[in-house]
Chain A
Amino acid sequence: MDGDKADGQSSNRIVIDPVTRIEGHSKITISLGEDGAVAGARFHVTQFRGFERICIGRPMHEMPGIMARICGICPVSHIIASSKACDEIMAVSPPPVAVELRRVINLAQVVQSHALSFFHLSSPDLLFGFDAPPATRNLFAAAGEAPQLARDGIALRRFGQSIIETLGGKRIHPGWVVPGGVSHPLAASQRDAILAAVPEALAAIRRGLDWYRGRLAGFAAEAECFGTSETLSMGLVHDDGNAAYSDGDLRVVDASGAVLADRIDPRPYWEYLGEVAHPDTYLKSTYWKALGYPAGTYRVGPLARLNVVDRLGSAEADERLGEYRERVGRTPQSSFHYHEARLIEILHAITVIGEILASPDVLDRHVRSVAEVNRSEGVGVSEAPRGTLMHHYQVDEQGLVTWVNLVIATGHNNEAMNAAVAQVAARYVDADRLTEGMLNRVEAAIRCFDPCLSCSTHALGQMPLSVELCAADGTVLDRAVRP
């Protein structure tokens, strides 16, 4: 398929390969028609990990620990979704305080992951512009230009990571969240240490939000074309319509804001969501079944969550949300606004962490429900920083895993990412010329979604990015290599 249009008509193509620097697992192909105009674009994930296979035969209780190893950025999300699937298999409800403590560690991950995405990876683009040379478009340069912004990003990452380390025992691949609840209660000293850090974290994100608002006017063109194709939005909400991250039910809205499905049980996801496998990528595309493929393309993550919720549920964040909606609309479709949505979510997450930990019940010592296997199947759903995450397991009578299906945020967003790349390419790619600004914007369109590959799609000046412009007969018309 690579290099050919869907109808089989030959086309020129631009291949950005690899997009990644560390993982090296993705590339972007931009196909040009005979007229030189962009005919389509594909985001390919070229690595196969097989986590769904290596879990087969493992005891159910091991699953959260195994699943934590999927990712070094958002292991907490996988632990929570995995533990919730195990809750279902055991047919237990975690004690109320365990539910709240799971919320705390999940929100802490939202803070640290969003801070990494915005402050470390994306802020250099916003600080120096997409046409700036790579040598000046990185965190190092950003820290020299805007040290307070760098300090705030570091402070927010430390805030989230320190909570994860305090509760989970370590910053990466933590434990603590287990089937039935959490492994041990919160100590008063731990609570006090986290609460003491809340004011500084709030101050940091307020400065970050104000800084972003000040920069936004300079990126009106990008905000117009960074994936503005209309899609559905999906996310978890509570019964009152507030944002939910660790629990809640699904809501789906269309581009106009009309509600297509409201507060539906997310566990039988296969009834609503279809999957399409493509021959050129290991990343499947999901779609909303009721509208079919590709009309049922939807987005998840910060932008989509703000689109589906009535409100976030904390006063200051909702005030920011209201101002954001007044400016960009009730259900903005430009993926550029993922950035601001991410910052508003950080503010909300810090606030809620403080509210939960201020409750006297949070030190309750009954934090785990214990049971053996009582069902043969379980689904756990939560909101990861990048979007809705689903873990689905089947086990035998001994609790050994027989089947696993994982539906991850980057899969939910796959079709929308393809559309975003195509749209940016159509706006900025000149068939006869490859420019740094074009490459930067194509990568930045992907980075808006903050997929698990976003860290490596970030151009740090040393990313081995190569782009080839090929004629229909395979002749290389132009080549750009960034060492």
Chain B
Amino acid sequence: MSGVPLVVGVGNPLRGDDGAGPAAAERAARDPRLAGARFRTVVQLTPELAADVAGASVVVIVDARAGAPAGTVDCSPVDPPPEAVPGRGGTRASLSHHLDPAALAGLAGLAYSRIPPVFIVGIGAGRFDAGAPLSPAVAAALPEAVDVVAALVAALVAALVAADGDRSDTVRAVRGSTAPGVS
């Protein structure tokens, strides 16, 4: 296992619940369970993050999720496009100066020949009004989101140490270690 865990909070704090990702990442940075991890807060995922992703042991991206009930927390693995996995060849069209998590992971593979396990933790968002603070439901969900991030990192690191990269097992482990709401 190389590198340290990387936690990326994505979103615009000036747009209501879109700031859930950065708020969760900032809270996670103060959590002793995540000591040793690196933390980044960004408005959007950009190609420059590919270097950080490629250099991390595991990556957890925390982002607001539109359409999900406000304050719910879920996590899921990010599968980079298979064409981007080093050695498989091929290309994928969709890429800009801002990326989705799968494209970011793919770019890390193409440019740096390394894709660590990448997960996304979604926080259901209720409002995106300009200048609004986090809604009460989302603010109340931040501790749970940090719990999920901490459990994910612990499980992923343990899996890597055990040379067991099966991420479905990791998801089950995280589900079992946290309260309902993690799907």
Minimum CB distance partner of A173 in chain B: B43
Partner of B93, one of A21, A120, A144, A460: A460
Tell me which residues across on chain B come within 8 A of A136, comparing CB atoms.
91, 93
Mostly, the A contact residues are helix
Assembly CA distance A135 to B81 (angstroms): 14
Do A121 and B93 touch (CB < 8 A)? Answer: no
B41 → chain A closest CB, angstroms: 9
Partner of A140, one of B43, B103, B112, B113: B103
Do A460 and B110 touch (CB < 8 A)? Answer: no
Assembly CA distance A158 to B52 (angstroms): 10
B84 → chain A closest CB, angstroms: 7
Tell me which residues across on chain A come within 8 A of B113, comparing CB atoms.
147
Minimum CB distance partner of B46 in chain A: A157
B170 → chain A closest CB, angstroms: 27
Do B48 and A140 touch (CB < 8 A)? Answer: no
Q: Does A143 contact B (CB under 8 A)?
A: yes
Assembly CA distance A143 to B110 (angstroms): 6
Partner of A139, one of B43, B51, B95, B112: B95
Minimum CB distance partner of A148 in chain B: B111
Tell me which residues across on chain A come within 8 A of B126, comparing CB atoms.
none
Do A135 and B91 touch (CB < 8 A)? Answer: yes
Minimum CB distance partner of B50 in chain A: A154
Q: Does B107 contact A (CB under 8 A)?
A: yes
Tell me which residues across on chain B come within 8 A of A153, comparing CB atoms.
47
Interface string of B26-60 (1 = CB under 8 A from A): 00000000000000000100111011000000000
Q: Does B168 contact A (CB under 8 A)?
A: no
Binding site for B on A (CB under 8 A): 21-22, 116, 120-121, 134-136, 138-141, 143-144, 147, 150-151, 153-155, 157-158, 161, 172, 455, 458, 460-462
23 contacts between A and B (CB under 8 A): A22-B96, A135-B93, A136-B91, A140-B91, A140-B94, A140-B107, A141-B91, A141-B92, A141-B93, A143-B107, A144-B89, A144-B91, A147-B111, A147-B113, A150-B47, A151-B111, A154-B47, A154-B50, A157-B48, A158-B51, A161-B48, A460-B96, A462-B94
